[in-house]
Structure 1
């Protein structure tokens, strides 16, 4: 089996959830109302940012639904983007230190606020034809990767080249907000800039963009005025197909290839893109990337993200747990070293993470969070050391069981559908074993929760006083990796496998959990042990295939072998003969 097999694994989830459409409108209206409330510059920045992300989300939903009110939301998104880029009346939100202008600096902020929050404007928002139920997913860059809308504004300022006009194409969903901010930054530089959004469709590795009649007219008008066409989105991902599909559609509509520019959040390795003919297609376009993670709290000091935290926690590199460094959340120490400043997400996603982190802390299982704004939470740097599987003891077993019982009651969710987890298990099994997973796989849902998702020993910190704290407990259960919301049996299975519990330890662990929760998971646990081992195997395989650092890749190769061994043990006599080859 070659390393490239990792790219065939199934580890990412759709992350989509059904939300009442009217609730989304009401939340946006609340944000607009908050704009009119007296506030300092820092609070004003946060309110505008939150409102902008919500407006972009709702605009995307309406555009996908073909709703006529999408244009109303597009205007609102543009107004909020101009406010964020231009700054408030004190200039606190300005992204550059140039001279004060009439656009977006002096009285534009209060005038825009007044216009957006009039009774007529709020009434128009209240009656838009939003779907009764909207399918939403967290914008990954804003939720997981510390991508700030102003990062795209800075890139636009750097690339602005008067007098050429620019037409910005945002790739829905997150590209909606990014296109609005990009266009606002260009207009602030005195350029003509307009925007539309598109939704690629098809296989994730081979997307297609179909331009409708209105979009084609917009493109033709841009060609006639000699415009450049900038495509705005986060990424590119493994395939690059969303960017490529938009670029190909523009070229197909007559745009000179040299006039198409991709604006993304990551630098692509064209030879690693898995889209059909991806390397040649990507190199035929110009691509620019933003500098992410620039909107740091003012107290940010030493960078400890991308696995760098391990240098402070381990005296020997051989003991480092593996880290998919490009997927880690952005983390810094405060300047005095007393706090960890961690990006937990902007908008709705970040607010939910903060609420969970507070719940974990109030129950005594984790450190107390503090909201630093711009998607960052601060946690105290606790003295102690990350645990290892060899640290398992009766006290540790009790703490693990108590924590799972706590999550089972503290973070309930509507019963999730398990189809995606079952598809993951079958895909990863056949990729790893070269055979089909025999029989039916049924993942019973008895205690649906937002799981922790990371019960690994190094996620537990042992203090000098003997206390055990769960760190990194708020985001993993609802990020862009599987499992997402699941039965609490997922975390039970994770604890059993990650701590390598012997049969007697497993019995004690489950007995403690039953006493604390009133839940007997024995019947449903075998299926979750199987699914958990297959997800973690796939995760290790994909990480090993994608990481350029050889030492890091070797750690994941070792992890892949360990999860494979765990899988074979879970399967027992039913393991296919190919599993032992």
Structure 2
């Protein structure tokens, strides 16, 4: 099934350097505390993203990882900010900005490319991975790790995480590597110069740092294989992963055995955020300045636990894709009840706060109160319930607002050919190749012609009826409306026609109602027609990955039956309403 996808952005590195310098001056003017600390982490993430982009650019040009003046200058900036984060986290005095200013000037003096492609770090964006966890985990490495310690970060997010580990270990700046090849059989490409630098001390220990491991753990394994082939004993290789589990089912026997025997300390989210660290209080106190102190223990609503937080028995049967859910908590204070939801670290969270404020002011979403170190606080709607039916006018107003207020850049979502390819793969896997015949009418020439009319917006992407709530005073609000177009999937920002197709499926609109909705939001009927089968195919794939949940399995069956009905009509009319 094709469901997941990554999103890149293109930046001018000199603009990023100037932005870091300006933002650091702003952070330096803040008093010690959570807000200042969060600003420093945001700067650290941005610097690490830039270092990753520059290193990736060199890798493409050289065909291998190397140690170059540009890469070293970028990592020096990351290290300075990693030290600032560490000092803040520990409550230690912050030195002046002179060192960072000098390192930024050195980086600016390099022959930087006009643009670099920066990958979105998934852990920071979606999964509540905090760089401070690696600072704490590295400090737990046993003393048997002999000095000196060589820290190796992997690809994108490992660039910054390795710097945090190097600071904790008082080690030299880390090296970053880019394992390449088949996702389950990665290998590293290292220049002779970098190989000599990595293996310069025969008695060194090595710490390999990355998010994961995932299905195969082959990125961790590729670097460990390389070190082993170079003669480094396994006892002098440790790992810093994001979780304490084993590699997934696609891992090799060799990698599984090594992983089971290796030193690999982990500091989890709960341990990290439920304790005091210097000026950073536990998570339940992050919003005290705005919402007041907690009057009850913080309640974890992650992984579908929100279903039991409502008195409405209907919520118990709603489907959940637990692996794709953001971390959520219910905070109760004297000022009311509040949902704390992970919105992403760095500038990503700030963007979502602004979007939440716009939706609330327009009357479509609950009230956002504040953003604190990746978590957004919104008013909890006690007593609200999913509606039994939807108002077409309310849906039209909501989609029209998004289309007008939230324009998106050109390359921020899957193309029409990519959507059709996803539909062919997912439907072929779910229902057989014969079921994909109805997609053949969308020829490359037709898609090329239609693509010229695509106007991308930050679409909602999930109009499931349970994501709408009717409040006790009769208002109909859309929950979880901030970031589905920026989720860890391949859809991204689409033409508003994508949401019209979603509404047709989720609310069982008749042909007449669908035409009215197209007219109300200015959606192209041709685009709606091609998006409709793609929407169904994506939902089939999405819920296939969540099939361990009974409600999710029911959802997959619902979309499969909807596909059959839609395909049987030649794609000319929407499927009827239905929910599990």
Task: Return the TM-score normalized by structure 2.
Answer: 0.84
The 2-side partners of 1:45 and 1:538 are apart by: 39
Question: Alpha-carbon deviations, 1:297-332, whole Å to 9, x = none?
Answer: 525711111111100125437842221223211111
Query: For residue 73 of structure 2, what is the aligned residue in structure 1?
Result: 72
Structure 1 counterpart SS, 2:206: strand
In the TM superposition, what is the alpha-carbon distance from 1:182 to its structure 2 partner? 0.9
The 1-side partners of 2:3 and 2:85 are apart by: 35
Check 1:211–1:254 CA distance in 2 against 1; reply closer, same or farther (3 A cut).
farther
Query: For residue 404 of structure 1, what is the aligned residue in structure 2?
Result: 399
Question: Alpha-carbon deviations, 1:384-424, whole Å to 9, x = none?
Answer: 33425xx124xx22111111111111111133350432332
1:116-155 correspondence runs (5 A)? 116-117=100-101, 122-155=104-137
The answer to whether the Cα contact below 8 Å between 1:52 and 1:77 also exists between their aligned partners in 2 is: yes
Question: Which stretches in structure 2 are left out of the alignment for 5+ residues?
Answer: 59-67, 274-282, 287-293, 572-580
The answer to whether the Cα contact below 8 Å between 1:258 and 1:285 also exists between their aligned partners in 2 is: yes
The answer to whether the Cα contact below 8 Å between 2:57 and 2:116 also exists between their aligned partners in 1 is: no
The answer to whether the Cα contact below 8 Å between 1:297 and 1:372 also exists between their aligned partners in 2 is: no
Query: For residue 334 of structure 1, what is the aligned residue in structure 2?
Result: 331
Out of 512, 516, 522, the residue aligned to residue 525 of structure 2 is 522
Structure 1 counterpart SS, 2:69: coil
The 2-side partners of 1:246 and 1:312 are apart by: 45
The 2-side partners of 1:474 and 1:329 are apart by: 12
1:483-562 correspondence runs (5 A)? 483-499=491-507, 501-503=508-510, 507-508=512-513, 510-512=515-517, 514-515=519-520, 517=521, 519-544=522-547, 547=548, 552=549, 554-562=550-558
The 2-side partners of 1:343 and 1:12 are apart by: 20
1:209 aligns with 2:188: yes
In the TM superposition, what is the alpha-carbon distance from 1:512 to its structure 2 partner? 4.4
Query: For residue 318 of structure 2, what is the aligned residue in structure 1?
Result: 321
Task: Return the TM-score normalized by structure 1.
Answer: 0.84
Structure 1 counterpart SS, 2:269: coil
In the TM superposition, what is the alpha-carbon distance from 1:195 to its structure 2 partner? 1.8
The answer to whether the Cα contact below 8 Å between 2:80 and 2:99 also exists between their aligned partners in 1 is: no
Check 1:71–1:194 CA distance in 2 against 1; reply closer, same or farther (3 A cut).
closer
Question: Alpha-carbon deviations, 1:496-541, whole Å to 9, x = none?
Answer: 2122x141xx5335414523x3x14322212111111111101111
Query: For residue 351 of structure 2, what is the aligned residue in structure 1?
Result: 352
The answer to whether the Cα contact below 8 Å between 1:384 and 1:464 also exists between their aligned partners in 2 is: yes
The 2-side partners of 1:172 and 1:292 are apart by: 22
The 1-side partners of 2:404 and 2:84 are apart by: 42
Check 1:502–1:489 CA distance in 2 against 1; reply closer, same or farther (3 A cut).
closer
Structure 2 counterpart SS, 1:405: helix
Query: For residue 376 of structure 1, what is the aligned residue in structure 2?
Result: 375
Out of 241, 246, 253, the residue aligned to residue 264 of structure 1 is 241
RMSD in angstroms over aligned alpha carbons?
2.5
Query: For residue 298 of structure 1, what is the aligned residue in structure 2?
Result: 285
The answer to whether the Cα contact below 8 Å between 1:170 and 1:233 also exists between their aligned partners in 2 is: yes
In the TM superposition, what is the alpha-carbon distance from 1:279 to its structure 2 partner? 4.3
| Alignment size in residue pairs | 526
In the TM superposition, what is the alpha-carbon distance from 1:74 to its structure 2 partner? 0.6
1:1-12 correspondence runs (5 A)? 9-12=1-4
The answer to whether the Cα contact below 8 Å between 2:73 and 2:103 also exists between their aligned partners in 1 is: no
Query: For residue 48 of structure 2, what is the aligned residue in structure 1?
Result: 56
The 1-side partners of 2:189 and 2:221 are apart by: 13
1:217-256 correspondence runs (5 A)? 217-222=196-201, 224-225=202-203, 227-256=204-233
The answer to whether the Cα contact below 8 Å between 2:128 and 2:344 also exists between their aligned partners in 1 is: yes
